[in-house]
Structure 1
Amino acid sequence: MEEWLTNFYKTEKQKMIENCIECGLCVKHCSIVDKTDLRDLPPKKIQKDCLDFLKNGSKNDTVYTKAFSCVECYKCVEGICPQGLNPMVMNEIIRSEYIKNSDLEDQYSNPKDYNSIHKILSSIQVSKEDYTKITSSSEKKSSKYVFFPGCNVYFQPEKILNALDIIDTITKDYAFVPGLDYCCGNNELYFGKIEKGEKNINTLVDKLASYNPETVIFWCPTCQCRFDKTVPIIKDIPFKVVSFSQFVSEHMEKLPIKEMPNTKVTLHEPCKSAYTGLDLTGTRDILNNIPGIQLIEMPRHGRNTSCCGSWCTLHLKDSSNKVKEERLQEAANTNADLLIDVCHFCHEFFSLEEKNYNYSIINYANLLAEVVGIKREDKHKKYKHWKDLDMIMKDAQEFIQQSPYSEKEIIEILCKVYEISL
């Protein structure tokens, strides 16, 4: 199989070396650089160092911070570079070469692994029946729709189950492809594993296409963006792609919506969906069609929205937290009762801070499930707040007994994820 994506990155690297004029506009428009130690450096100097790295591998702290702080928000992907280059791809190339040619710890973890964090954590939050449901592909048959949740939402499995129940209310003509057996390739590309990412993309497209769908519904904004910007480099996509919120917003009349009297909400949308224009209205339409809800927009919203900062937390935690705190305070200034998030990653990053603000933080799919009468608890959020192994083990005991994993494996993951010391 020809390595289309690998060759693309090689070609893009050469284009950057030949065509980048070191204007620094991509740095100036970056969502995260001004929250890092690079904030006082001239953008042109930062860009020059990055270009020097591409030319001759010259490493320094500036290059590392610029590439590894990237939150992959897609803000710089279109309409920024006067030469038509893709600065986010430049960051991916730098990370890939940096990881290959240094002693940096490889923080990549494969959600497909039998004992992945995703699988173990998911298995103790839902019943054995529900765990099987969200980890098994539908039987092979033609379906109008296919729902694909992506991988990282498995930390919060009730969201997948809520989404499936909502889709099931709207239509029976759909199939399900689990996100732990298949991947959009983003995790691999972020951690510099381009060949592996390409293989995963090909496998996923073929699997989705095997159901002959008209439309594939993505839960994850990152998956949707990859299918818009990266996948077409490799192969044709024989189906339409929409977000879960776009799908639901088109079928709200089929849902038995209950009123939420006098509830003020503000919305934190996925930055990449907004910056690319892929989904600016789906969640807003849902919220505006729930009786009793008043949507109060934050100053930064739509194409002018803010990132949550979560993607750079592995490498630059302080910078990541600055972005988060700024956004959560912006939400607080609206005096809303609820902060509604869309992306599970944003929810993961925000939810622990709920105790510091006068609003509750809830994902839009869980809110929607609540107003149609579906009751499921956000256990991951609860456990993050508890940070108590005994309390978690007691609360999850029923599901732990049904889990395919040993108590030792489960405890190890709980301590790692919830930062619990034994």
Structure 2
Amino acid sequence: MTFPFSKYFGEIRLLADLQFQDGAKPFEDRPPDDPEAKDLLLYLGCNVLRTAHLVSTVTAVLKAMGFDFNAVGGPAYCCGIIHHMNGAREASRGYTAGSLRHFAAYRPQKVLMWCPSCNEHYDDVVKQEHDVTFPYEHVTAFIARHLDRVPFVTPIERRVALHYHTGHPQQDLDWTSTRTILRAIPGLEYVEIDNPAALGRHCSSRYINALGRPAWQEHVARVAEAAAAAGVDVLATVYHSCQREICDLEGRSPFAVINYVTLLAEAMGLPAEEDWFKRQRLAGDPAATFAAIQPWVEARGLDAERVKDVLAKSFAPACESRPANPS
């Protein structure tokens, strides 16, 4: 069976549009003809747009740290991993070449990776098949190295544990960088808990399916039990896929599930960006979600049945029809 690439990326665009609606997006999702050159390029990837609050938050954090940068993301900048994983290797190489060409137009001296799947694909495939002319690193390492530029203004009086991935050098760097960031936040008490290497490199379908969802759920349940036993107020996440996949723990645990960059932004006094995705996941009522957005959907002439289908896939209770999380 051929993978439904168009439908897959269309769902990403739709969920992003539902969250940004008519507001300006803090990134370029279509390559401009002649972009202003800046030394830093924040590469968001595609799937983070399902949790659009993280896009707004990380761009606000980097700006408040005093960095001047371009930010890009969405299917137009696809790294090619989805096609690569689903057997369309030639198409994958084409998408990668396109994104590299678009990056080059910004003339970056460094690319900051937000998405762990993009980072993984660049490390394992892209550098072997293409000429990558710029250095890149995950945004957690970049922020951790520049904590002297973070204007902390609000103490975060919370006890926080971290859901992380380990067993691979990149993931170990990402989670230890995130730990460094959390430990730097005034008032925050960081509590170490174990996360098993069996969880793979991130909570995406690639690793969940490789482990088997029941086994993955058992490992996550143990992480949640450790967090609860430690008496934490927050179980923080490193990656957007993890935030999407485990955010509903909040509905049955004595702690909130919040991405690290949201905690950092709060400590910097930045305006709060609501985790709309988590709110809908916790509600578990796609019909109510559609009713709330129906005027917007109708005003734009969108296919109501298509919107309902995407909402059901994303927010129906797990016992009904929620498929494996994407990358």
Letter in 2 for 1:219: W
Change (3 A) 1:365 1:317: same
Shift of 1:412: 2.4
Shift of 1:318: 2.3
Match of 1:20 in 2: none
Secondary structure in 1 matching 2:143:
helix
After TM superposition, the score normalised by the length of structure 2 is 0.84
1:293-304 → structure 2 map (5 Å cutoff): 293-300=188-195
Higher gyration radius (CA):
1
- Structure 1 runs (4+) deviating above 6 angstroms are none
Letter in 2 for 1:284: R
Match of 2:21 in 1: 127
Inter-partner Cα distance in structure 1 for 2:146 and 2:283 = 37
Shift of 1:403: 5.3
Secondary structure in 2 matching 1:130:
coil
Maintained 8 Å contact 1:309/1:323: no
Letter in 2 for 1:128: D
Maintained 8 Å contact 1:151/1:183: yes
Match of 1:228 in 2: 123
Inter-partner Cα distance in structure 1 for 2:92 and 2:152 = 40
Inter-partner Cα distance in structure 1 for 2:111 and 2:299 = 32
Inter-partner Cα distance in structure 2 for 1:240 and 1:381 = 34
Change (3 A) 1:385 1:181: same
Alpha-carbon displacement from aligned partner over 1:116-146 (angstroms, at most 9, x marks no partner): 1111111111232334855344652321001
Of 25, 29, 35, 1:140 maps to 35
Maintained 8 Å contact 2:285/2:316: no
Match of 1:101 in 2: none
Inter-partner Cα distance in structure 2 for 1:289 and 1:111 = 42
Shift of 1:168: 2.1
Shift of 1:190: 2.0
Inter-partner Cα distance in structure 2 for 1:341 and 1:214 = 28
1:181 aligns with 2:39: no
Secondary structure in 2 matching 1:335:
coil
Maintained 8 Å contact 2:111/2:135: yes
Match of 1:59 in 2: none
Change (3 A) 1:167 1:112: farther
Match of 1:350 in 2: 246
Shift of 1:353: 2.0
1:384 aligns with 2:281: yes
Match of 2:155 in 1: 260
Match of 2:98 in 1: 203
Of 238, 256, 281, 1:360 maps to 256
Inter-partner Cα distance in structure 1 for 2:40 and 2:238 = 21
The worse-fitting range, judged by mean Cα deviation, of 140-149 and 363-372 is: 363-372
Shift of 1:156: 0.5
Secondary structure in 1 matching 2:23:
helix
Inter-partner Cα distance in structure 2 for 1:273 and 1:398 = 46
Secondary structure in 2 matching 1:376:
coil
Inter-partner Cα distance in structure 1 for 2:39 and 2:302 = 35
1:233-252 → structure 2 map (5 Å cutoff): 233-252=128-147
Secondary structure in 2 matching 1:329:
helix
Maintained 8 Å contact 1:125/1:379: yes
Match of 2:107 in 1: 212
Maintained 8 Å contact 2:31/2:102: no
Inter-partner Cα distance in structure 1 for 2:93 and 2:58 = 28
Maintained 8 Å contact 2:65/2:151: no
Of 225, 235, 259, 1:329 maps to 225
Maintained 8 Å contact 1:313/1:320: yes
Inter-partner Cα distance in structure 2 for 1:142 and 1:134 = 13
Letter in 1 for 2:222: E
Letter in 1 for 2:213: K
Secondary structure in 1 matching 2:70:
strand
Superposed CA RMSD in Å reads: 2.9
Alpha-carbon displacement from aligned partner over 1:364-420 (angstroms, at most 9, x marks no partner): 122222222221110111101112234313444575466573433322211222227
Change (3 A) 1:309 1:147: closer
Inter-partner Cα distance in structure 1 for 2:49 and 2:97 = 22
Letter in 2 for 1:150: G
Maintained 8 Å contact 2:152/2:185: yes
Alpha-carbon displacement from aligned partner over 1:171-213 (angstroms, at most 9, x marks no partner): 4531122232122222122222222222222222222122221
The worse-fitting range, judged by mean Cα deviation, of 335-344 and 192-201 is: 192-201
Change (3 A) 1:246 1:415: same
> Where does structure 1 lack aligned partners over 5 or more consecutive residues?
1-104
Match of 1:415 in 2: 312
Letter in 1 for 2:112: I
Match of 1:371 in 2: 267
After TM superposition, the score normalised by the length of structure 1 is 0.66
Inter-partner Cα distance in structure 2 for 1:337 and 1:152 = 27
Inter-partner Cα distance in structure 2 for 1:409 and 1:365 = 32
Secondary structure in 2 matching 1:128:
coil
Change (3 A) 1:123 1:146: same
Match of 1:118 in 2: 12
Letter in 2 for 1:249: A
Maintained 8 Å contact 2:78/2:96: yes
Maintained 8 Å contact 1:122/1:156: yes
Inter-partner Cα distance in structure 2 for 1:108 and 1:224 = 23
